[in-house]
Amino acid sequence: MLKVGLTGGLASGNTFVGQALAGLGCRLLQADEIGRQVMEPGGEAYAEIVREFGPEILAPDGSIHRRRLAGIVFEDPERLAVLNRLVHPWVIRRENEWMEHLAAEDPRAIAVVEAAVMIEAGTHKRFDRLIVAACSPEQQIERAVQRGGMTREEALARIRRQIPLEEKIKLADYVIDTGGTPEQTLQQVREVYEALRRIS
């Protein structure tokens, strides 16, 4: 089974690329979704996060208010590192379980794990190939704001906390430029898929 990491930056198009690869036949796991699950009430990281950051991060229903928590950690690199230490091991554990199960089920599968902060966490080294989805910082900010739930200042602060895309590109086996039209991006995805299929 071929293990492929897919990453980028905030609103750089990695989710779009991941879904396009899944549409072509890859098996896709979205690490950010797993991160949400382990932070939900009853999730593996929930109690530790609440103990560490206090009840003020909770919404009225007892769930973690993600935007409130983000406001704390993206202003303070040390607090962000603490949150990552609480969440990432559980996410990686679930990723590994998924890949082991998939390898047993379909040895010729192309397993794609999409994660925005894969390189920041150092987990990109676990994969056979690495894809980076990239666009300009201005496009990242525009997309993050258009998606809703984030101001321009919040988007900029989050981008500054991530490794610059030009640095991530240096580590990539494949780079997909998502700055053009969706069809231009999809054409690049198809080319990368064919390359992956040849080596899987």
Instruction: Examine the pLDDT at 177 and tell me if it is beyond 90.
Output: yes
> What is the share, in percent, of the chain residues with pLDDT greater than 90?
84
| pLDDT of res. 106 | 96
Sign of the torsion formed by the C-alpha atoms of 172, 73, 30 and 110? positive
Three-state secondary structure of 68-129: HHHHHHCCCHHHHHHHHHHHHHHHHHHHHHHHHHHHHHCCCCEEEEECCCHHHHCHHHHCCE
Domain count, the chain: 1
How far apart are alpha carbons 19 and 27 in whole angstroms? 10
Q: What is the mean pLDDT of residues 19-23?
A: 98
Q: What is the mean pLDDT of residues 102-128?
A: 94
| pLDDT of res. 115 | 94
Instruction: Examine the pLDDT at 148 and tell me if it is beyond 80.
Output: no
> What is the share, in percent, of the chain residues with pLDDT greater than 70?
100
Q: What is the mean pLDDT of residues 14-39?
A: 96
Residue-wise pLDDT for 28-72, tens only, equals 999 999 999 999 999 999 999 999 999 999 999 999 999 899 889
**Which residues are CB-contacts of 181 (< 8 A; sequence separation ≥ 6)?**
none
**CATH number, domain at 181?**
3.40.50.300
| pLDDT of res. 171 | 97
Helix (H) or strand (E) holding 144: helix 137-146
> Is 0.75 surpassed by the pTM of this model?
yes
In contact, 114 and 200? CB cutoff 8 Å: no
Range of the domain at 168: 2-199
Instruction: Examine the pLDDT at 149 and tell me if it is beyond 80.
Output: no
How far apart are alpha carbons 5 and 112 in whole angstroms? 6
Residue-wise pLDDT for 151-171, tens only, equals 998 899 889 888 999 999 999
| pLDDT of res. 74 | 81
Tokens representing residue 190 in the block = 């198809």
Q: pLDDT band at 8, cuts 50/70/90?
A: very high
Q: What is the mean pLDDT of residues 142-149?
A: 88
